[in-house]
A and B are shown apart, each in its own frame.
Chain A
Amino acid sequence: MTNKLFYSIFLILLISFCVICNYIATKEVFKSQPDWYFFNKHSFKKFNHILSAGMGFRALMADFEYIYFLQYYGNKKNNVTRYKDLYSIFDSITDIDPNFIFAYTYGSAILAFNLKRYDEAISLINKGLKYNPTFWKLRLYLGAIVYKEIDDKEKYISFLEEALKFDDHPAMIERILGNIYEQYKSPDELVLYWLKIYKKTKDKETKNYAYNKLLRHIQSGKLKNTEIILKQIQ
């Protein structure tokens, strides 16, 4: 009888501690996670989003949607419509994982600098800032896009140069900035820039792009300090 009573009290105590731990941890989750983390009336437009958020693999689902974007953007047939679905694809990626920072920077760079759809690019960056207010690098991209729209070359170049200083920039920024430099920098300066990109970039496509640019400038015969540059290349 005493044993039974002791066992019951012990079990009740254990359950109480367990419930308390669960309660405090849940409070911590509710406090730290933003609204979008949980199901609510306004969240999730697609079934696969509900499924992945419910089963705990939302980051992976965002990755798969990112691969879909790469395939969509890589398909030249979509150029006919100027990639009209691009914004909705990025919207979907960042719906399922609003912390996917690279999607905001890459998406906005394509929309603004390649497709010249500034409103959509700004809207995407604003969404990124709403969900990641502490990620200040997004403001660099916003600045670059805003000044690109009003064609203030000096300002948007300075924003892009600032963005380039951080390792997590999309490789596309390197190509965009290089192409802007092509319009007003000397061949010597351009060779040094493409050389730096060739050495530093993590993207194979950008590496090839920088290599071809380097070759073209060297073969053009317009370089003034050929010896110094060749030394750098070696």
Chain B
Amino acid sequence: MKSIFAVAEYIIKQNFRNKILNVLTIFSVFIIGFSLAISELAQESEIRMLKDFGLFSISLLSFIILLLSVTLQMFEETELKTMHIIMVKPIKRSEYLIGKYLGLIFTIFMNILLMLVILMLIIKLRNSDPWDLKLLLSAFFVFVSICIISSVAILFSVVATSVPGCILFIFFTYVLGHLTIHLKNLVMASENTLLKIIVDIIYYIVPNLELFNLKNKLETTYGLFEPSYIFLIFSYSILYIFIILLISIKYFEKKEFF
């Protein structure tokens, strides 16, 4: 356990030391602040605009931070060969990978929290309720979906041999994760059984990110904020992350570096 936290701490420090990530954090603060200006344009619909733009920015920027963070670590591990130094230290490979994952999601958590606090302050400035449960839940599930993508990113960083390849895989997983539910709906009407089976396989392998997309449903009357649904998707996320990390660890343990 101590080694896991030591790795996590190392990853967090490394992320906070990185200039690009710091600039991106400052940029994300500005983007959230910009929502104040952009909401000014949406006469009589300012609060809605503020929340939509704020949540979209949180979701997009946290994904970019994840991509940059993974790129940075992979570059150091493969190009600068830091992995070789870690491998000779008395630390299990599984502990290293879990520590790396925890460090990654803690960095993203700090960024999301910062952006959310600023968004809530702006909402307060606009004389609206910043403690809106739907807003908080939407932001929380943006974080959960990024946690899922982070676990997939860890898997790809172990499997992939090049940094650009890994980044491309993560990006396409993000896109597919949002599209699969639409794909499933489209083939449900089809009579082609083979197509249905193929889509179903893709559907259950790729993380279903659209389940966590509550930011589009802030003003709907169609629910999806019920505790039973929240519990269901939260369980799904925990299970998915656990499985992906288990597979990553298995692969990582067999991987040869020397």
**Which chain A residues have a beta carbon within 8 Å of chain B's beta carbons?**
11, 14-15, 17-19, 21-22, 24-26, 28-30, 32-34, 38-40, 53-60, 63, 66-67, 70, 97, 99-102, 106, 132, 134-135, 170-171, 202-203, 205
Contacts and interface: CB of A to CB of B under 8 A. Distances in A.
Contacts of A135: 221
B48 interface: yes
Interface in B213-242: 213, 215-216, 218-224, 229, 232-233, 235-236, 239-240, 242
Nearest to A133: B221
Nearest to B53: A60
A22 B243 contact: no
A39 B236 contact: no
A25 B233 contact: yes
B236 A59 contact: no
B138 to A, nearest CB: 10
Given A11-B246, A59-B52, A102-B44, A40 B219 contact: no
Nearest to B188: A30
- Central interface residue in B185, B189, B233, by most chain A CB within 10 Å: B185
Contacts of A39: 182-183, 185-186
A55 B42 contact: no
A26 B211 contact: yes
A150 B178 CA distance: 48
- Interface residues on chain B, size class: 35 or more
B216 A57 contact: yes
Contacts of B232: 21, 24-25, 28
B56 A18 contact: no
B175 interface: yes
B243 A99 contact: no
B187 to A, nearest CB: 11
B219 A101 contact: yes
B147 interface: no
Contact of A58 (B43, B185, B209, B216): B216
A13 to B, nearest CB: 10
Given A22-B204, A59-B215, A99 B178 contact: no
A37 to B, nearest CB: 8
Contact of B181 (A19, A26, A171): A26
Contacts of A59: 48, 52, 215-216, 218-219
B185 A30 contact: yes
Given A28-B232, A29-B181, A18 B220 contact: no
Given A19-B204, A60-B53, 5 more contacts: A14-B242, A26-B208, A59-B219, A100-B219, A134-B221
A30 B240 CA distance: 21
Candidate in A15, A30, A55 with the most chain B CB atoms within 10 angstroms: A55
Contacts of A57: 52, 56, 59, 215-216
Contacts of B221: 99, 132, 134-135
B215 A22 contact: no
A19 B235 CA distance: 11
Contacts of B182: 38-39, 53-54
B75 to A, nearest CB: 27
B52 A60 contact: yes
Given A54-B182, A99-B220, A202 B235 contact: no
Contacts of A14: 239, 242-243, 246
- 5 A-B pairs closest in CB distance: A38-B185, A21-B236, A18-B239, A39-B182, A56-B213
A42 to B, nearest CB: 12
A55 B186 CA distance: 16
B92 interface: no
B255 interface: no
B42 A67 contact: yes
Given A29-B211, A135-B221, A18 B42 contact: no
A169 B199 CA distance: 45
B78 to A, nearest CB: 28
